[in-house]
C-alpha cells in the first residue's frame, strides 16, 4: 500500500502546518491536500485530519465536513484498511462520519463530541492523555508503551464525548476508548477531564483499529521549544512530548 500521507484541509482548518511539520519530522512523505483537490486522495495510503473549525462548525462541529467529498475517499480508504488520524476538529469529523467507534452506519454517528460541561464554553488547557487500550489494539498506537502518558493541549468548545447509555457501554466493552484524560502522574480521575467527557474519554478507535480520533492537540506540545524546562535536551527543534503519538503513527505508516 502507498505510504504517502495526506493532511486534509477543509475550509476553516487551521492546524495543518504544525501537523505537516511533525509528520515530515518523522520522515513521512506527507502533503497538504485542499478540498478542491479531493480527487487526488485515493493516491495516498494514510490520512490525517487536523484541527480547526471546518465550515465554521455550523450545525455542530464536524457535521458539514463529514459530508464533504473528501470524506468519501477517507471513508473508502478506512474501509480498505488505510490509516486515519483525526485531531480535535479532525476527530469530530471522523466521529460525525461514523468511522469511530464505527458501530453504526456510514455517516450515522452513534456518539458525538459535543459542548463542554459543566460550562459550555471554549477551553484552552494543558492536559495529559493516557493510553487505555493494549497498544496493538490500534495500529496507530502500536509502537507506544503500555499505558503511555502523552501531554497535549485541549483547545475546543465541543470536546465532550456524549452518547446514550447503550452506546457508552458499547464503547467501553468494545475497547473503543483509546485514550483517557489523566493527571501528570498518570492517575485517572474525573478531575483530570477538562470538558466533562463521558468515561473520561479523550480518544476513540474503531473496531478494526486503523482509525483514531483524538480530541486534544498533541501537535501543540510536540517540540522541545514548547517546553521551557527543555525536558528533552537543549535542541530547540527536537520533537518531544506529544510527538510520541506521531512517531508511533509514522511507524504504522511504514508498515503499510
The CATH number of the domain holding residue 188 is 3.40.50.880
Of 18, 36, 20, 40, residue with least CA distance to 28: 20
Per the CB < 8 A criterion, the answer to whether 57 and 49 are in contact is: no
Of 245, 226, 231, 256, residue with least CA distance to 23: 245
Tens of pLDDT along the chain (256 residues)?
Answer: 568 999 999 999 999 999 999 999 999 999 999 999 999 999 999 999 999 999 999 999 999 999 999 999 999 999 999 999 999 999 999 999 999 999 988 899 999 999 999 999 999 999 999 999 999 999 999 999 999 999 999 999 999 999 999 999 999 999 999 999 999 999 999 999 999 999 999 999 999 999 999 999 999 999 888 876 666 667 888 888 899 999 999 999 999 8
The pTM of the full predicted model, rounded to 2 decimals, is 0.96
Res 224: pLDDT: 86
39 is catalytic: no
217 is catalytic: yes
Give the domain extent around 65. 5-254
Q: How many domains does the chain have?
A: 1
Res 236: pLDDT: 81
Length of the chain: 256
Of 226, 192, 256, 249, residue with least CA distance to 50: 249
Q: Of the residues 88, 156, 158, 176, which is catalytic?
A: 88
96 is catalytic: no
Res 229: pLDDT: 65
Amino acid at each position: 500500500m502507498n505510504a504517502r500521507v495526506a493532511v486534509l484541509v477543509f475550509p476553516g482548518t487551521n492546524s495543518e502546518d504544525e501537523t505537516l511539520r511533525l509528520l515530515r519530522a518523522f520522515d513521512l512523505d506527507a502533503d497538504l491536500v485542499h478540498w478542491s483537490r479531493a480527487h487526488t486522495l485515493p493516491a495516498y495510503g494514510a490520512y490525517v485530519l487536523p484541527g480547526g473549525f471546518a465550515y465554521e462548525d455550523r450545525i455542530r462541529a464536524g457535521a458539514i465536513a463529514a459530508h464533504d467529498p473528501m470524506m468519501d475517499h477517507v471513508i473508502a480508504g478506512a474501509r480498505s484498511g488505510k490509516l486515519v488520524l483525526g485531531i480535535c476538529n479532525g476527530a469530530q469529523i471522523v466521529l460525525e462520519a461514523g468511522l469511530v467507534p464505527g458501530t453504526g452506519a456510514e455517516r450515522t454517528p452513534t456518539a458525538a463530541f459535543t459542548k463542554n460541561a459543566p460550562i459550555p464554553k471554549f477551553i484552552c488547557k494543558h492536559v495529559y492523555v493516557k493510553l487505555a487500550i493494549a497498544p496493538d489494539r490500534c495500529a496507530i498506537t502500536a509502537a507506544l508503551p503500555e499505558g503511555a502518558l502523552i501531554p497535549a493541549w485541549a483547545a475546543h468548545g465541543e470536546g465532550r464525548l456524549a452518547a446514550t447509555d447503550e452506546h457508552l457501554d458499547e464503547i467501553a466493552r468494545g475497547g473503543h476508548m483509546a485514550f483517557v484524560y489523566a493527571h501528570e502522574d498518570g492517575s485517572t480521575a474525573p478531575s483530570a477531564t477538562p470538558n466533562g467527557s463521558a468515561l473520561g474519554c479523550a480518544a476513540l478507535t474503531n473496531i478494526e483499529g486503523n482509525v483514531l480520533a483524538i480530541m486534544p492537540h498533541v501537535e501543540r506540545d510536540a517540540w522541545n521549544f514548547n517546553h521551557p524546562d527543555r525536558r528533552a535536551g537543549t535542541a530547540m527543534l527536537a520533537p518531544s512530548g506529544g510527538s510520541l503519538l506521531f512517531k508511533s503513527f509514522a511507524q504504522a505508516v511504514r508498515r503499510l
